[in-house]
Homo-oligomer: A and B are copies of this chain.
Amino acid sequence: MTTVVVRHDLPIHETLEGTRDGLTVRTARDTEETKARLVDADALVINPASWDDALLDALDEGDWVQATSTGYAAFPVEAFRERGITFTNATGNYGSPVADHVFALALGLARGLPTFLDEQRERNWDRTKGGELIDLDGRTLTVVGMGDIGESVARRGLGFGMDVYGTKRTPDEYDGVLPADRVLEPSALDRAIGETEVLALTVPLTEETRHLVDRSTFETLPDTAFLINVARGPVVDQEALIEALETGRIAGAGLDVFDPEPLPESSPLWDLDNAIITPHVGGRSRDFVDRFVDLFLHNFDRRRDGDGELRNRIA
């Protein structure tokens, strides 16, 4: 018998219910309730925004925490390791929606959607609006962070006929759609982007990636470039970005993540003609719950049968 506590707003518990003999699913709405229900439970499904270190003492050795996110900076991974708590994340579940979001933002900028949607609200047909439109064919796309999401971005870029490069902390380990010599170390970034017209950020936030994109990046990019950030806000020096957009140092930005979030009402980013802003929804997908439940059950079965590696095991 396994009891899992699910702390998530989406209907994960309804979808999990009844999928396996011997699996009991319980929900929890806040930290107190989660803590109370964990006493009799063996597993926890939780998103990073709901994690509270107060939950740590309610977990026993051998328990299992399955995060609903790819990023896990909010979780005490070292403490999990020390206490013998298994921890898995949801890498692989976000490649499609986030990569689609990258191209929604890039094509929104390239094809003038903010202008045309404003005109639509005014019921105004004006073919002189929208400025110069751009097609992606033959332009250079550089994907910073060739993990699961970056790979999905690269695959789409090739479909658009783009010239695609990527960066990866361990380029020697890369095995994907790009030729090996197109995948560079992160330190090569500023040297590599002189021709980059779409710079897409898909790295986790770490001490190395904080402010990875800064004033010098904007000085190196061509003034026709778009920055697309679906990673984490602090990967970009936001002040430098605002200046680059205000001065036309780059052509535009498609931003799903900010520093801080929520983006304050006072931020100048909201008003920039050459920025599209979405409220950290890149990972949202009609398919999320189904994909997540597939992942959970895969790991549940491995644990129950005691055979095979858990998928996405971090601790």
Contact = CB atoms under 8 A, between A and B. Distances in A.
Contacts of A160: 100, 156, 159
A125 B286 contact: no
Interface in A83-139: 96-97, 100-101, 103-104, 107-108, 110-114, 116-121, 123-127, 129-130, 132-138
Given A262-B125, A263-B125, A96 B137 contact: yes
Contacts of A125: 261-263, 265, 279
A211 interface: no
B286 A133 contact: yes
The number of chain A residues touching the other chain, given as a range, is 35 or more
Copies held by the complex:
2
Contacts of A284: 130, 132-133
A279 B118 CA distance: 12
> Majority SS of interface residues in chain A?
loop
Nearest to A154: B159
Contacts of A101: 111
A129 B279 contact: yes
B100 A108 contact: no
A271 to B, nearest CB: 8
A287 B100 contact: no
Contact of A279 (B127, B132, B262): B127
A245 interface: no
Nearest to A126: B279
A242 interface: no
Q: Counting chain B CB atoms within 10 Å of each CB, which of A119, A126, A161 scores highest?
A: A161
Interface in A243-291: 261-263, 265, 267, 270-271, 276-281, 284-287
Contact of A281 (B124, B127, B158, B287): B127
Q: 8 tightest A-B contacts by CB? A: A159-B159, A96-B137, A125-B262, A104-B107, A104-B111, A96-B135, A97-B135, A133-B284
